[in-house]
Structure 1
Amino acid sequence: MSRIAEFPEILDDRQKELAERIASGPRGRVRGPLALWLYSPDLCERAQHLGEFLRFGTSFDKRLSELTIITCAAHFRCEYEWAVHAPIAEKAGLSPDAIAAIKSGDDPQFAEHDEQVVYRATRELLSGNRMSQSAFDAVIELFGERGIVELTAIMGYYALGAFLLNATEMTPPDGSHPFPDNV
């Protein structure tokens, strides 16, 4: 059970307009951090716009974006983020074995080189607050400067969401507890 209601009890006109805009966009609904951000309409407006670009508009294909997102979710042990994005990651083409390894904190085996590059860079930055020169160079080689900027932005956005979801103890939509030791 979340520490606060997922949606403000009463939405003012601006909050209603934001909720309608989010629901009519590529997400198709308002839930999770977006719903919670409605408590702060200015933040919600800016965050949803950034999030829409980072999830649907970067130079990364969905498989690599979702890899980055679930790596962040596992790092922060964010049950909501994990429960929503792990199935999307599998549908986008990540192997179930790699997804399971990421969840458990083991080193996943990837079929594709680009997956290994994205995972390594993401894990290094999350776990040590730095990225090695070789991980950085691998990202630049495959994705260029735009890639390093967008990869780190995806990480930062999903960390922002994970912090809020973890602070409020937002329950995943399916009621699951992907990280049972969190409970």
Structure 2
Amino acid sequence: MASRCGGLRRRLASVRSVRSLSAASRLTPLTPERQDAEQRELYDRVVTSRGKLVTATHPDGSLVGPWNAMATSPVIGGHLERTGDACRNQSSLTPDVQEVVILAVGAHWRSQFEWYTHERLALKAGLSPEAIAHIKAVSDLTEVLQLLDPTAYAALAFTRELQETARVSDATYAALVDLVGERGAVDVVFTAGYYDAVCRMLNAFEVALPPGAEPPFPES
């Protein structure tokens, strides 16, 4: 028994070492030569659309972030990728409100890659470093009130309440709908739901940060 346990520990240590050295995720990187037709279609779409905002591929050509997971199961992943594209580009929400929702989800999941990517996009959308820091720390909402405009604050309160309680109170719902309408409230839920799925993928498959990047959240 001791021998078997020792062997298992050595194998696990070896896996951790290889993963650390390669800065890879648990999934096999789908480089272009590994891709079938469905995977290639998703790959080309991501590189064309998302590559305008962020770095979409690793030096070996494989997709970064959640997109490699989507390409691994390209039929479902393709639908999910299109949902994400719609949430970003066809939403009624302004970029700053979108990023508040995304950061709230990322902070809830303590998702390293998600926060690393969207902190920069949030700054570009006009959020202050102070507001971003409070969202990251999941500070009391009263501490964020003066750092966000009313719509962004309402979206943050709504998203956080939904994440923490799996429900939204009438007061929180009404505060958001008064500012963004019913369509806007639905778009907040769509955005939170999509990025919730993204954070689950990033965490489950241990998608690594770019080499040299500091983890936004302390590793346990």
TM-score, L = length of structure 1:
0.93
State the Cα deviation string for residues 98-142 of structure 1 (Å, max 9, x = none): 101111121324241111111100110001111111110011111
Matched, 1:25 2:49: yes
How far apart, CA to CA, are the structure 2 residues paired with 1:90 and 1:63? 9
Q: Which moved more, 1:83-92 or 1:8-17?
A: 8-17
How far apart, CA to CA, are the structure 2 residues paired with 1:102 and 1:66? 11
1:162 and 1:135, CA in 2 relative to 1: closer, same or farther beyond 3 A? same
1:26 and 1:177, CA in 2 relative to 1: closer, same or farther beyond 3 A? closer
How far apart, CA to CA, are the structure 1 residues paired with 2:156 and 2:114? 17
Give the RMSD, CA atoms, in angstroms: 1.6
State the Cα deviation string for residues 53-105 of structure 1 (Å, max 9, x = none): 10121000111001100110000100010000011001101110010111112
Matched, 1:115 2:152: yes
Q: Which moved more, 1:5-14 or 1:141-150?
A: 5-14
Tell me what 1:36 maps to. 69
Tell me what 1:47 maps to. 80
Tell me what 1:90 maps to. 123
Structure 1 vs Structure 2: percent identity of aligned residues? 33
Q: Which amino acid aligns with 1:140?
A: V
1:131 and 1:23, CA in 2 relative to 1: closer, same or farther beyond 3 A? same
Q: Which has the larger radius of gyration?
A: 2
1:165 and 1:6, CA in 2 relative to 1: closer, same or farther beyond 3 A? farther
User: 1:26: Cα distance to partner?
Assistant: 4.3
Instruction: Identify which of 173, 176, 183 aligns with 2:210.
Output: 173
Q: Which amino acid aligns with 1:3?
A: R
User: 1:176: Cα distance to partner?
Assistant: 2.4
Matched, 1:3 2:36: no
User: 1:6: Cα distance to partner?
Assistant: 4.1
1:6 and 1:165, CA in 2 relative to 1: closer, same or farther beyond 3 A? farther
How far apart, CA to CA, are the structure 1 residues paired with 2:29 and 2:136? 25
User: 1:166: Cα distance to partner?
Assistant: 0.2
Q: Which amino acid aligns with 1:5?
A: T
Tell me what 1:139 maps to. 176
How far apart, CA to CA, are the structure 2 residues paired with 1:6 and 1:61? 34
Q: Which amino acid aligns with 2:125?
A: A
Q: Which moved more, 1:126-135 or 1:168-177?
A: 168-177
Instruction: Specify every segment of 5 or more residues in structure 2 that has no aligned partner in the other structure, as ranges.
Output: 1-22, 57-62
Q: Which moved more, 1:63-72 or 1:16-25?
A: 16-25
